Amino acid sequence: MSAAATLHRIPRHPHAWLAWAAASQLLVLLLWWRLGWTWGLPALLLTHAAFIVPVFLPRVRLYAPVVTRLPAAGRQVWLTIDDGPSDDTPAILEALARHGARATFFLVGERALARPELVTAILEAGHEVANHTHTHPQFRFWALGPRAMAEEVGQAQRTLAALAGSAPRWFRAVAGHTNPFVAAPLRAHRLTRVAWTTRGYDAVDGDPVRVLQRLRRGLRPGAIVLLHEGARHGRSVELVEAALCLLREQGYATVIPD
């Protein structure tokens, strides 16, 4: 069985969380009825927190299955680059070629639609494109309702499928957030949610030393490495180059699950 087949985890029961939610609130009612508010109120707060906190935790599987690492036996990592395509894409492709590295580019649909030639360049260079929503609603993705969530995932999927000639297999949520409505469109488009094992916060921090220190802490065989392009600090190409040097120094090869 291929690595991709092993990792491909399409949500089977998009609304399974409802059963847990109903059971938890029945428990709250029972506690409140039998033991009063001193037990019922804390139980109410705790059960609500149990469904709210996972929204902001990228590796938690409550609302959809998620891939957090490769089942790799050797010193291999899955290099992923978010937020493109951008003006940085050509230089990043050159850096990848110099290092003999392969990557999965998690692309934003509307950005890909505006720069279709860069999608073609990514694919022609032997890399992979994946779904990173259509408009990248950074500050409100976690709060999207079912219709808006379906549009963000579905429109990006249709755009990237048309540009690439085949539908993406992987999806990365904005900031890794989820909510109760993310699983249904993933199931509809046969997408698997991908998180990460290690990140350097290179989207917000342009200092190579700090970025590499964070990346190094999470490097291990099978790690999913998260990088970005088009960051506002303007140093994304430099940071990708530095990360590639780090991987080479540590003896890691980059692979795409295929």
The reply to whether 228 belongs to the active site is yes
Name the pLDDT band for 207 (thresholds 50, 70, 90): very high
Nearest to 112 by CA among 133, 141, 138, 140: 133
Name the pLDDT band for 258 (thresholds 50, 70, 90): confident
Beta bridge partners of 105: 81, 129
pLDDT higher than threshold 70 for residue 253: yes
Q: Of residues 127, 134, 189, 228, which has the active-site annotation?
A: 228
Six token digits for residue 154: 């579905």
Whole-angstrom CA distances from 106 to 30, 52, 74, 128 are 46, 26, 25, 8
pLDDT in tens, 109-140: 999 999 999 999 999 999 999 999 999 999 99
Mean local confidence (pLDDT), 174-181: 96
Please answer whether residues 153 and 168 qualify as being in contact, where contact means their C-beta atoms are separated by less than 8 angstroms: no
Lowest-pLDDT range, 2-16, 178-192, 223-237?
2-16
Q: Of residues 8, 82, 134, 207, which has the active-site annotation?
A: 82
pLDDT in tens, 45-74: 999 999 999 999 999 999 999 999 998 668
Name the pLDDT band for 1 (thresholds 50, 70, 90): very low
Name the pLDDT band for 3 (thresholds 50, 70, 90): low
pLDDT at 5: 54
> Could you tell me the pTM of the whole model?
0.93
pLDDT higher than threshold 90 for residue 242: yes
pLDDT higher than threshold 80 for residue 188: yes
pLDDT in tens, 211-230: 999 999 999 999 999 999 99
Percent of the chain beyond pLDDT 70?
97
Rounded Cα–Cα distance for residues 54 and 3 (Å) = 27
Nearest to 105 by CA among 11, 238, 240: 240
List the chain domain ranges: 66-254
Token pair 């692309």: residue: 107
**Which one of 3.20.20.370, 3.40.50.970, 3.30.530.20, 1.10.150.20 gives the CATH number of domain 66-254?**
3.20.20.370
Rounded Cα–Cα distance for residues 71 and 51 (Å) = 29
